[in-house]
Structure 1
Amino acid sequence: MKAYVFPGQGAQFTGMGKDLYETSEVAKELFEKANQILGFRITDIMFEGTAEQLKETKVTQPAVFLHSVISAMTLENFKPEMVAGHSLGEFSALVANGTLTFEDALKLVSQRALAMQKACEITPSTMAAVLGLEDKVVEDICASIDGIVVAANYNCPGQLVISGETTAVEKACEALKEAGAKRALLLPVGGAFHSPMMEPAREELAAAIEATTFSTPTCPVYQNVTANAVSDAESIKKNLILQLTAPVRWTQSIQQMIADGASSFTEVGPGKVLVGLIKKIDKDAETHSA
């Protein structure tokens, strides 16, 4: 079975999508439609902007989404049999399998970015990458720290991202290094994504998601929250709301997709981060970058 996967925030690069815009009439129309929906010319920032401008959350999330979805829509014989997306990438996956329309998903992604930005401004918070420890060790150390710090992204075996209040994350990093982590490194992010710190954003996004039409998908999506195949529109909606404050179970999702018969994984969107992670999860997996 052919699986398609879609990247999240962090995969952006300057000039992204320009080649699509210039070589495909379909892509050009979709990009222009996106400019209208967002109320500013995101294409100008994507094609000509600086890395600094692209890093703004209100730009990054729609930019990565647009690159992924428009790339998918311009592929020949694009017929996914299973899909998954890393964090923000889950919205791209839901367009790819027909659960959400391009327009509705873009509006939700834009609202999500703004809601997350607001939540980040309430309390100083951050994330850190932890390399070389078992998941259970990281979870136990986080649980022992005063303040909010949790496992946020299970990226691949031995690579986990933690998230929470800045002081708690810093304390956890020290404890993790003492426990033998190869690295415990603060990440240059705007705040504590996929942690309880995102509760204000979750509430705001929940209202927007509830007001959006979700259709029955053409193939299952392996959602970050459950790491299982989901084909029911109501369940997809519920999991998408939970996603902001819950961890991204990427390792578990890929393992489950392989167990369910994934024969190849194609990453669609900017970068090749997910292909790299999939190879670390299962070195025998067949991977491609679209």
Structure 2
Amino acid sequence: MSNTAFLFPGQGSQFVGMAKDLYEQFADAKKIFDLAEEILEFPLKRLCFEGPEDELKQTKFTQPAIFTHSIAVDKLLKDKGLQPKATAGHSLGEYSALVSAGALSFEDGLRLVKIRGALMQIAGEKNPGTMAAIIGGTPETVTEACNEASAAGVVQPANFN
């Protein structure tokens, strides 16, 4: 086993056309996407390969799309002999990492991600907001800026990396 780790992306890495080349060139990727579309009961392949972008960006579709794409790439890399020593993911990518590590089946992971995406979409519609990444500030200056901006609404630091 190599000293390789597979790191899986979170939401926001989607794009129209994602995985179309894999689907057309690799039987295993085709099987994964075909199975995913059966389980999801929505046109995953059309959304990923053709869009429209505004539909693909909806959390309830984005999350299963990224997850399925990640697992297709994972399978192709492993078929080429690349075995990770570790897997990890950012947010949504944690589910892909669990499947890659064998802790969760693709089917169960996809069902969980479908529910997760649907619930997050509902929560976002009930409580609309935005998120921004701030690069280069200290936790103190970011917190201070949020406090100053709170006069216009709720502004809260959510994550310090």
Q: TM-score range by the shorter chain?
A: 0.7 to 0.9
- Report Cα offsets for 1:137-164 as digits up to 9, x if no partner: 324544674664433344xxxxxxxxxx
Q: Does residue 114 in structure 1 map to residue 118 in structure 2?
A: yes
Distance 2:158 2:85 in 1: 27
Q: CA deviation at 1:95?
A: 0.8
Query: For the Cα contact (< 8 Å) 2:70–2:96, is it kept in 1?
Result: yes
Q: Does residue 11 in structure 1 map to residue 13 in structure 2?
A: yes
> TM-score, structure 1 length as denominator?
0.50
Distance 1:12 1:119 in 2: 20
Q: CA deviation at 1:107?
A: 0.6
Q: CA deviation at 1:86?
A: 1.2
Task: Give the 3-state SS of the residue equivalent to 1:121 in structure 2.
Answer: helix
Pick the aligned partner of 1:38 from 40, 53, 62. Answer: 40
Relative contact order: is structure 1 or structure 2 higher (C-alpha 8 Å, sep ≥ 6)? 2
Distance 2:123 2:82 in 1: 36
- Report Cα offsets for 1:215-246 as digits up to 9, x if no partner: xxxxxxxxxxxxxxxxxxxxxxxxxxxxxxxx
Q: Which runs of 5+ in 1 are unaligned?
A: 155-250, 252-290
Alignment partner, residue 82 of structure 2: 78
Matches within 5 A, 1:135-284: 135-139=139-143, 141-142=145-146, 145=150, 148-154=154-160, 251=161
Q: Indicate the RMSD between aligned Cα atoms, in angstroms.
A: 1.9
- The code of the aligned residue for 2:103 comes to T
Distance 1:82 1:100 in 2: 15
Query: For the Cα contact (< 8 Å) 2:16–2:49, is it kept in 1?
Result: yes
Aligned residues: 155
Distance 1:62 1:108 in 2: 9
Distance 1:100 1:111 in 2: 16
Distance 1:45 1:37 in 2: 15
Distance 2:92 2:28 in 1: 23
- The code of the aligned residue for 1:69 comes to I
- The code of the aligned residue for 2:22 comes to L
Distance 2:41 2:83 in 1: 32
Distance 1:19 1:142 in 2: 43
Distance 1:13 1:20 in 2: 14
Query: For the Cα contact (< 8 Å) 1:72–1:78, is it kept in 2?
Result: no
Which structure's residues are more often helix, by fraction? 2
Alignment partner, residue 137 of structure 2: 133
Alignment partner, residue 102 of structure 1: 106
Alignment partner, residue 68 of structure 1: 70
- The code of the aligned residue for 1:79 comes to Q
Distance 1:149 1:78 in 2: 43
Q: 1:16 to 1:120 in 2, by over 3 A?
A: same
Identity in percent: 48
> TM-score, structure 2 length as denominator?
0.86
